[in-house]
Structure 1
Amino acid sequence: MRVLLVHSNFPAQFRHLCVALGSDPADEVVFLTMNPRPEWNIPGVRKAVFLPDGEAAPGVHPLAAQGEEAARLAAGALKAALALRDQGFVPDVIYSHSGWGPGLYLGEVFPEARRLCYFEWFYDPDGADARFGGATQQPMDRARARARNLPILMDLANCRQGICPSRWQAEQFPPDLRRKLTVLPDGVDTEFFRPAPDERLVLPGLDLSGAAEIVTYATRGMEPYRGFPQFMEAAARLMATRPACHVVVVGDDRSCYGPPPGPGRTWKQEVLERLRLDPARIHFTGSLPYGLYRKVLRAGSVHVYLTRPFVLSWSFLEALSCGCLVVASDTEPVREVARDGVNALLTDFHSPQAIAARVAEALDRREESAPLRAEARRTILRDHDLRPLLARHVALVKGTEDGGTAAG
């Protein structure tokens, strides 16, 4: 089978799928992407790089800006697809990541192909994420949110089937648009992310092997969507009252979701200027290779995961799979997976005081946490184990079965 995968990044959510499809000599796999990532090469997968077609036009109306960006990405991907067809590559199936535009017009180049789309989010000014902040939205802000759905709606209209990684994310789509959606979690490599009770935290330039208490936090970007300001305030409280407590933050000093605090500013800068933190006990590692990131998870005393009602992070599921003692925000995406006091400890996203108190409780009761940690691991093995989910994902791509459960 010939498969065309489409994502601006590489390999992103399709990493495990790439490995599975690329390992089958019966498959020819091409990945259409803007990111060549020379450090990432997956056997059996050929990358075809595209660029946005043209420059962003000046003076684009705010309500058309998202559509204009999607159109430039779609046109760039369309040109790359035409080149692939000229080279003799005609896919049986196109599987594209939706929301940003690259897959919008590939059906015009390859009308023979069955089209699948991976959907992460539907923007709703009355939805859970929009309500969460509590601020009143002006009509233009509401209109911008709805305008962000234009490429998503086009993808949904033109695909044969859509895939959502969680039921809660699928439920953000209006009920009458869910009939094409299948809920299929991305999956966690539970063989890799498994408990190691004797792990010690030793990284290049950082040795915490003798630390009595280690609180960990992992994120792609340090931003309000993932509760970074609240976590840092909670960390300051913990460090002030627990002199043996070290805090380790994994992630990049950038905003992946939402705007930065100001031009040329980052949320890390804002927080560090405002809080008094002991530099000997707060450790920023930057992004880490998977092996070192796993070491942080497994060596920590308590792992903190915070999120607004938005896309659920892999890091939360990976921490549970490692049997971490997790303190997490009591928000909808977390509650789809976690129950308070059963497989995690939940707390108020908005309250640094409540977060600090829950982490302190967890630190004080570590000796009693074995059942909770074990249940965290069982939850992932039952509902998010990569092996059965990947088999269903491959079957969905190859058209041998529907691959998951309907969104309802």
Structure 2
Amino acid sequence: MKPLRILFIHQNFPAQFVHVAGELQRRGHEVVALAVRGHPIPGVRFFRYAPAAPERPSEIDLARDFEVKIARGRACAAAMGKLEAGGFHPDVVVAHPGWGEALFCKDVWPRARLVVYAEFFYAPEGSDYGFDPEFSSASDELRMRLRLKNTVHLHALAAADRVYTPTRWQCSQLPPEFRAKTVVAFDGIDTALVRPDPRATVRLAREQVQVTAGDEVITFVNRNLEPYRGFHRFMRALPEILRRRPAARCIIVGGDEVSYGAPPPGGGTWREYMLREVGGRLPVERVHFLGRVPYADYVRLLQLAACHVYLTYPFVLSWSCLEAMSAGAVVVASRTGPVQEVIEHGRNGLLFDFFDTDALTGQVVDVLANPGSYRAIGRAARETVVARYDLRAVSLAAQVAVIAG
């Protein structure tokens, strides 16, 4: 294969490109990254740029989100122009379109192949919008905002020479006219690193507690603890789970920012919001909020989990779901679109209705009470990830073929 010059654009590089960018560099291609935040990875030249918000926002409220993304796209185009002036002329540009960076790639480099990473396309029904009536309500105004939120995605999809997306469910959310040029290629799970370990041990330093594989440990992981990932539903089930399993501990990993959706009513964090609601019924000595942890510690937590709980709106599938499966955990997960693509109830995981607190409670309690009955499910979970999502055997080859093939 002839060496190519490849530019990755992501506002928080490396993000989803962490594996494929490095792999392309190892295969002899010249790889450059452009980002607002993030950090470099070995072998990849890394450049930052700083977009500025419009000085005078539009008088039309509905236009302001797109206006900010236009400003981001223009700043990114200026940064691309500087790369060109410095002698870098890419053969391929790979861009995440969500924040506007992909808007003007073809205007700067019309002959470069544009590959778009289509993470999510918003829809007025069948996905996250209006899914949870507790925190959302349908209205004409919100539907208009949703339509305009897709503007940057539509420009990117129309301009793209190739498109790839992590799951079939995410592909199904794209407009039909763009699916023909879209390939499903998951980011990849390093199953050699994230694997079962019956000797896994973690010491919770603050509480002076040590937990090991074989203990009744429930894990729950989000990048940030928030309703999009079912944090509120899990917290409402937790008091009864721990009441019925007096030896169980729950370890919760995740930050207090908002990745998706909105902050809680009245301000503060979703963790504080839910503790105000259920904290009085929780045995606090058995509930451990760790915040964000180093990746190695996170993997060990998955390895020792007797039960891992994963919930999500119909939205982007989290890596943590597949990583827990790769570690051999028994995953109890919400029966929502992206999850059902991966988990078959009773074979490689356990599914429940997102809104059914009793079903979640009963299923977790049964897994803790009868671990031997569920070991085959943990083994099948790992087999699924190894067969379909392994980083080296499956995912990297698919992504490289889309980008450089």
TM-score by shorter chain over 0.5? yes
State whether residues 203 and 292 of structure 1, in contact with CA within 8 Å, keep that contact through their aligned partners in structure 2: no
State whether residues 183 and 402 of structure 2, in contact with CA within 8 Å, keep that contact through their aligned partners in structure 1: no
CA 1:187–1:36 in structure 2 vs 1: closer, same or farther (change >3 Å)? closer
Shift of 1:352: 2.2
Q: Name 2:120's counterpart in structure 1.
A: 121
CA distance in 1: counterparts of 2:283 and 2:55, whole angstroms: 44
Structure 1 SS opposite 2:129 = helix
Q: Name 1:166's counterpart in structure 2.
A: 167
Deviation string, structure 1 residues 315-343 (Cα, Å, up to 9, x no partner) = 00000011101100011111000011100
The letter of the residue matching 2:196 is P
Structure 1 SS opposite 2:220 = strand
Q: Name 2:11's counterpart in structure 1.
A: 8
Deviation string, structure 1 residues 81-122 (Cα, Å, up to 9, x no partner) = 111011000101000012211121022112221110000111
Q: Which of 284, 291, 294 does residue 289 from structure 2 map onto? A: 284
Q: Name 1:265's counterpart in structure 2.
A: 268
Query: Is 2:62 the counterpart of 1:63?
Result: yes
CA distance in 2: counterparts of 1:203 and 1:88, whole angstroms: 51
Q: Name 1:390's counterpart in structure 2.
A: 396
CA distance in 2: counterparts of 1:60 and 1:191, whole angstroms: 53
How many aligned positions are there? 395
CA 1:184–1:359 in structure 2 vs 1: closer, same or farther (change >3 Å)? same
The letter of the residue matching 1:264 is G
CA distance in 1: counterparts of 2:164 and 2:270, whole angstroms: 33
CA distance in 2: counterparts of 1:360 and 1:36, whole angstroms: 40
| Aligned 1:16-31 pairs, distance under 5 A | 16-24=19-27, 26-31=28-33
| Structure 2: tracts of 5 or more residues without a match | none
State whether residues 163 and 181 of structure 2, in contact with CA within 8 Å, keep that contact through their aligned partners in structure 1: yes
CA distance in 1: counterparts of 2:44 and 2:160, whole angstroms: 23
| Aligned 1:190-201 pairs, distance under 5 A | 190-201=191-202
State whether residues 325 and 373 of structure 1, in contact with CA within 8 Å, keep that contact through their aligned partners in structure 2: yes
Q: Name 2:44's counterpart in structure 1.
A: 45
CA distance in 1: counterparts of 2:230 and 2:287, whole angstroms: 17
The letter of the residue matching 2:240 is R
| Structure 1: tracts of 5 or more residues without a match | 400-408
Q: Name 1:202's counterpart in structure 2.
A: 203
The letter of the residue matching 2:304 is A
Q: Which moved more, 1:5-14 or 1:368-377?
A: 368-377
CA distance in 2: counterparts of 1:314 and 1:56, whole angstroms: 38
CA 1:254–1:161 in structure 2 vs 1: closer, same or farther (change >3 Å)? same
Structure 1 SS opposite 2:313 = coil
The letter of the residue matching 2:80 is A
Shift of 1:60: 4.4
State whether residues 251 and 286 of structure 1, in contact with CA within 8 Å, keep that contact through their aligned partners in structure 2: yes
CA distance in 2: counterparts of 1:344 and 1:111, whole angstroms: 46
CA distance in 2: counterparts of 1:321 and 1:119, whole angstroms: 25
Structure 1 SS opposite 2:69 = helix
Structure 1 SS opposite 2:31 = strand
Deviation string, structure 1 residues 348-382 (Cα, Å, up to 9, x no partner) = 21122221111001111211222111110110011
Q: Name 1:406's counterpart in structure 2.
A: none
The letter of the residue matching 2:16 is Q
Q: Name 1:95's counterpart in structure 2.
A: 94
Q: Which moved more, 1:352-361 or 1:128-137?
A: 128-137
CA 1:109–1:394 in structure 2 vs 1: closer, same or farther (change >3 Å)? same
CA distance in 1: counterparts of 2:311 and 2:197, whole angstroms: 24
State whether residues 73 and 103 of structure 2, in contact with CA within 8 Å, keep that contact through their aligned partners in structure 1: yes
Shift of 1:212: 3.5
Q: Which of 355, 376, 391 does residue 371 from structure 1 map onto? A: 376
Structure 1 SS opposite 2:223 = strand
CA distance in 2: counterparts of 1:56 and 1:373, whole angstroms: 54
CA distance in 1: counterparts of 2:79 and 2:127, whole angstroms: 38
The letter of the residue matching 1:34 is V
Q: Name 1:405's counterpart in structure 2.
A: none
What TM-score results when the alignment is normalised by the length of structure 1? 0.93
State whether residues 11 and 38 of structure 2, in contact with CA within 8 Å, keep that contact through their aligned partners in structure 1: no
State whether residues 57 and 64 of structure 2, in contact with CA within 8 Å, keep that contact through their aligned partners in structure 1: no
CA distance in 1: counterparts of 2:265 and 2:137, whole angstroms: 21
Structure 2 SS opposite 1:182 = strand
Structure 2 SS opposite 1:4 = strand
Q: Name 1:157's counterpart in structure 2.
A: 158
CA 1:45–1:63 in structure 2 vs 1: closer, same or farther (change >3 Å)? same
CA distance in 1: counterparts of 2:91 and 2:175, whole angstroms: 30
What TM-score results when the alignment is normalised by the length of structure 2? 0.94
Query: Is 2:136 the counterpart of 1:139?
Result: no
The letter of the residue matching 1:130 is Y
Shift of 1:49: 0.6
CA 1:268–1:56 in structure 2 vs 1: closer, same or farther (change >3 Å)? farther
Shift of 1:209: 2.4
Task: Give RMSD over aligned pairs.
Answer: 1.6
State whether residues 54 and 67 of structure 2, in contact with CA within 8 Å, keep that contact through their aligned partners in structure 1: no
Structure 2 SS opposite 1:132 = coil
State whether residues 35 and 49 of structure 1, in contact with CA within 8 Å, keep that contact through their aligned partners in structure 2: yes
Shift of 1:310: 0.7
Deviation string, structure 1 residues 266-324 (Cα, Å, up to 9, x no partner) = 11111111212222111011111110000110111100000011110000000001110
Structure 2 SS opposite 1:190 = coil
Shift of 1:131: 4.7
CA 1:243–1:46 in structure 2 vs 1: closer, same or farther (change >3 Å)? same
